Structure 1
């Protein structure tokens, strides 16, 4: 009889709470917080969902009183030792790139007459945070373009797995842009510009520097007179035809006359490009004459055509 009573008491007694240790920092990828984000050593019970996770790119702090309440409600053997315990829950996020927003806006406003040479300026724009690694769909709603007034307005809907749909109201200005060439890398004086040495960008017309290069055919094949830093605008005044004859270089001097052509060796007294004049000293007579550069290392003296 006594054994039977003991068995009944054993079955009637509440289950013992599970021992657990507190986590101080939890990084959650999902849109919800689970028990295992707060306490360790819970096994399958740690999968229980407690509530929504903080928005992407933010954190949530759970203080000791709330932690104790959660532990008691879920029969977890944990108590604060000094009352200063806390768990910081962080959710990774990324700022939606400005270009992603502008791309969607341009697509929506193009149907209303936005031209290719126009840019969109959004004063005070703060990129919204979205879940890290998530595919984000940007939908433009109610876009309005006032081409005459140079203004636009639209609502942006951001849809991504793991977050509620975000809606942002945007308004800004339509800005006319023009092409401008900038150096793609650091370049030194005398370097001949190649196609991959420059990059074509568009800037507001008000920011175009007078004399800045705007077309590739006016730059490629030209030589720099001054150094250029990467992303620096290329100025037409700093470009010239590349030298085909360098100062101090030994050149072939050509003399052409009616029915006759003579050659001699000379030394260029200066650097010069094709079609330009350069003083050359004849190495035999030591006489300096004016010649015209006709090819790399070759000049024409007298009878020039």
Structure 2
């Protein structure tokens, strides 16, 4: 009789709760949060869905009272040891690249008069987050460009697996750009600029430095009057014809007249570039005359100037 009574009592008792421990820090990749994500040893109910996971790139904090309520409702044998018990849930994410958005906007605004070389600037743009490994599809809708103010607005649509489709309003402005030459490497004082020493960039018209070179033919073959660092704008005032005759150098003096050409050796009294006037002393006569530099180490004097 006692044995039968004990069996009846055991049958009427509630099932023993699963014993579990807390996971204080959790990283989830799924769109939902499951019981097994926050409790170690949740047993058969580990796959039970508790609710949506945080948005990609965001976190969720589950405090002790909520954890206790979840444990009780799911039959988990867990109680908080201290009021500070909590679970931090994070979901990895990656930001949509601003460059991708700009490329879509360029394509959409080109039909509304956007110049190919203009710069598209986003204003107050916070890149939306998508799941870390998800493929994101981007689209632009309703793009409109105001020609009078150069401002635009559009709706960015972001669709990615594991997250609801996002529709964000994006705004910005179109900035005209102009060409500008910069040094491709460090250029030393007196160095003659070659074609590979410069590169062309485009900058907003408002950022073009006064006197900056805008064409390669303005600088190639010129000598640096001041050194320039890599990516530094090249100013016309910092360029000059390279020195063709050094001060004190021996030069060939050429005198030309109809049907006659005479040459003599001279010494340059100063440095000069091609086409510049220079004082030259005839080594034989010691007479100083004015000449014009026509080539490295060669000057012209007399009627042929």
What's 1:92 paired with? 92
Pairing of 1:175-190 with structure 2 (within 5 A): 175-190=175-190
Partner of 2:56: 56
Structure 1, unpaired ranges of 5+ = none
Task: Please report the RMSD computed on the Cα atoms of aligned residues, expressed in angstroms.
Answer: 3.7
Q: In the superposition, relative to structure 1, how do residues 241 and 92 fare at CA in structure 2: closer, same or farther (>3 Å)?
A: farther
When Rg is computed on C-alpha atoms for both structures, the one with the higher figure is 2
Deviation (angstroms), 1:187:
3.8
Alpha carbons of structure 1 residues 247 and 130: separation in structure 2 relative to 1, 3 Å: farther
- Correspondence for 1:269: 270
1:299 matched to 2:298? The reply is yes
Alignment of 1:1-305 (within 5 A): 9=10, 14-20=15-21, 22-41=22-41, 46-132=46-132, 134-246=134-246, 250-255=249-254, 257=256, 262=263, 264=265, 266=267, 269-270=270-271, 272-279=272-279, 290-296=290-296, 298-302=297-301
Name the count of aligned residue pairs: 301
- Indicate how the Cα distance of structure 1 residues 41 and 193 shifts in structure 2: closer, same or farther if over 3 A, else same: farther
CA offset digits 1:217-255 (Å, max 9, x no partner): 32333333223344433222222233344556x455353
Partner SS state of residue 99, structure 1: helix
Distance 1:294 1:85, change over 3 A: farther
Which stretch shifts more, 58-67 or 119-128?
119-128
- Aligned-partner SS, 2:116: coil
Q: Which segments of 5 or more consecutive residues in structure 2 lack a partner in the other structure?
A: none
TM-score, normalised with respect to structure 1: 0.77
* 8 A contact 1:26–1:90 mirrored in 2: yes
SS across alignment from 1:165: strand
Checking the alignment, whether the CA contact within 8 Å between 1:153 and 1:172 is kept in structure 2 is yes
Tell me how far apart the structure 2 counterparts of residues 193 and 174 of structure 1 sit (CA, whole Å): 34
Deviation at 1:301, TM superposition (A): 4.4
**Residues 19 and 175 from structure 1, CA distance in 2 versus in 1: closer, same or farther, beyond 3 angstroms?**
closer
What's the CA shift for 1:196? 4.7
Tell me if structure 2 keeps the 8 A contact 1:269–1:281.
Answer: no
Alpha carbons of 1:76 and 1:143: their partners in 2 closer, same or farther (altered >3 Å)?
Answer: same
Normalising by structure 2, report the TM-score: 0.77
